Amino acid sequence: MKSSILIIYTGGTIGMKQDPVEGTLKPFDFRQILEEVPELGKFALRVDSYTFDPLIDSSDVEPGLWIALARLIQERYDRYDGFVVLHGTDTMAYSAATLSFMLGDLAKPVIFTGSQLPIGTPRTDGKENLISAVEIAAAKDAEGHAMVPEVAICFGSVLLRGNRATKMSSEAFDAFDSPDCPPLAVAGINIRYNRTLIRKPSSWDLPLRVQDRLDTRVSILRLHPGITPQVARNIACGPETRAVILETYGAGNAPSKPWLTDIIREADRMGKVLVNVSQCKKGTVNMDLYATGRALKDAGVVSGFDATTEAALGKLFALMGLSDDNAWVKKQFQEDLRGEISK
């Protein structure tokens, strides 16, 4: 039987085409996907599409879109071998990361892709990205199981774990990277899969579990020289905030000024979940290395290890949506749940 793939179009540059009359970029009708990308017809696949309404620039992505996406995938899970999500590049890493925490016991590929140039322009990277994403979403191993049963981003020449990826370039065709995790696959003449790295579900036959309750009461405190106590306190101790991501220096370090430690302690006393993620794109948080990191640990901050900010955010949204118990959230946050950290 032919494999079948569902392409889900949420918006973004990839689905745009020049309107011949007005000369402006407009989303094209994805029901005509085979007309636009006839190469897809060469695969022995059934390719269906689903278009979100309204289509959005991904700068407008909200948790509601993630919930709708997760539910759509759950609803059609048994009908398709894999899913390709077309998404604007700007927030693709946030969406892929959060979806990875929302989808449990995933045994089928959910491959995000997009493009830097619209699919209707001559030098577009959209066609290549889409064709590779579809091929990867349909790929099976010798036992007939999905080759990549993960939420991933296929972009340029690489397939990256969704919760490890970050947008690195607003111009290059290789726009994404996952600095702390090698690619799950590299697309050259052949698509070469990194089979030892790709995660497998505990069982191939479990129904998809969807965690569609998200608690977004998270603030991000990015440290920088010159930060004032007022600014830091507003971000860390606001009554609406349940968790704070501290974006720290290097291996998880912060200025040693006593007022900063006092603010962190105050946030901790308020019961907030405080997590430490480094501003460095590569390497991990280790709060035992320097006194400035140690002070954070002693004040109640837990390590985000080598998580990206996008992954830390999605992980907190999903964990906090599951439970009101902040001690449990803190504990779970330090676990490797979906391959998002190296421990």
List the catalytic residues.
Answer: 13
Nearest residue (CB) to ligand ASP, 176 versus 317: 176
**Residue of 61, 127, 137 lying closest to 99 (CA atoms):** 61
Q: Binders of ligand ASP: how many residues, by CB under 6 A?
A: 10
Parallel, antiparallel, or unpaired for β 103-104 and 45-51?
unpaired
Which string of x and - marks every residue 77-96 that binds ligand ASP (by CB under 6 A)?
Answer: -----------xxx------
**Residue of 155, 218, 161 lying closest to 184 (CA atoms):** 161
Nearest residue (CB) to ligand ASP, 173 versus 328: 173
| From 10-18, 122-130, 148-156, 268-276, span contacting ligand ASP (CB under 6 A) | 10-18
CB of 58 to ligand ASP, least distance (A): 3
Look at the block and give the residue holding tokens 């999500």.
85
CA distances from 297 to 23, 133, 156, 262, 327 (A): 56, 41, 39, 13, 15
41-70 residues in contact with ligand ASP (CB under 6 A) are 57-59
* Under rule CB under 6 A, residue 13 binds ligand ASP: yes
On whether the CB atoms of residues 98 and 318 are closer than 8 A, the answer is: yes
* Under rule CB under 6 A, residue 310 binds ligand ASP: no
User: What secondary structure does DSSP assign to 214-277, as a single string?
Assistant: ----EEEEE--TT--HHHHHHHHH-TT-SEEEEEEBTTTB----HHHHHHHHHHHHTT-EEEEE
Nearest residue (CB) to ligand ASP, 100 versus 113: 113
* Under rule CB under 6 A, residue 120 binds ligand ASP: no
Measured at CB, which residue is nearest to ligand ASP? 88
Q: Which residues pair with 4 in a beta bridge?
A: 46
CA distances from 246 to 214, 230, 232, 249 (A): 20, 16, 10, 10
Taking CB under 6 A as the criterion, the residue among 8, 12, 125, 315 binding ligand ASP is 12
CB of 278 to ligand ASP, least distance (A): 25
Taking CB under 6 A as the criterion, the residue among 114, 149, 321, 339 binding ligand ASP is 114
Binding site for ligand ASP (CB under 6 A): 11-13, 57-59, 88-90, 114
